[in-house]
Homo-oligomer: A and B are copies of this chain.
Amino acid sequence: MTDRRSVAVVLFDGFELLDVFGPVELLAAAPELFELRFLGPTRDLVRSSQGIAVTVTDAYSDAAPADIVLVPGGIGTRRLAEDPGFLDWLRTFGLSASLVTSVCTGSGLLAAAGLLDGRRATSNKLAFDWSASRSDRVDWQRQARWVEDGDRWTSSGVAAGMDMTAALIRHLHGDEVADRITTHVELEVQRDPARDPFALVHRSATAAPTAD
């Protein structure tokens, strides 16, 4: 059981459902390898961008250090990127982890917390400019399904989080485990992080206020 890692999923009001539950579906398929924790501002329910609310296991302030941190996107990131208290906590919590990951505009929060300084990173393509504007100390990659830079993994928008998570499982536990999990959930994963059909679609798009 020494291979088992704790994964802290950082929830907040206005998190994007699939940013969270795509990766969680994959990680939870191997409970012998990953122990999932769901963190919120308090122990109260946290409301998704789509309205449905979910339970948390720990308040931010009570959460034990985790091996892996996962920060999703969602409209709630806009508010948190201006919240010094949250960013201070996220920075400290992230620095204590072995791996810090994000989906979608979650990388905007990592950037604002200083957790991507000097790293390559990507984000949601529709809201790319918003994420990129959170920090000029990040080497932002406009065309990437996901970006791995050492102990920082960031994915593109929403569904890209599943490809990144499958790649992360493959990186940590090898082909057999990754293939077993993706077959179990009947997910055809994209394995090339550089392949990003959505980068071109959104190339001329400016950050839309309602993008996630």
A interface, CB within 8 angstroms of B: 16-18, 20-22, 24-25, 28, 36, 38, 45, 49-55, 124-126, 156-160, 162, 183-188, 190, 197-198, 201-202, 211
Contacts and interface: CB of A to CB of B under 8 A. Distances in A.
- In the assembly, how many copies of this chain are there? 2
Contact of A158 (B125, B156, B160, B185): B185
Nearest to A20: B21
Nearest to A28: B50
A199 B160 CA distance: 24
A197 B179 CA distance: 13
A25 B36 contact: no
Nearest to A17: B21
Given A159-B186, A186-B160, A54 B53 contact: yes
A190 B188 contact: yes
Contacts of A20: 21
Contacts of A125: 186
B17 A18 contact: no
A11 B60 CA distance: 28
A36 B22 contact: no
Contacts of A186: 124-125, 156-160, 198
Nearest to A104: B186
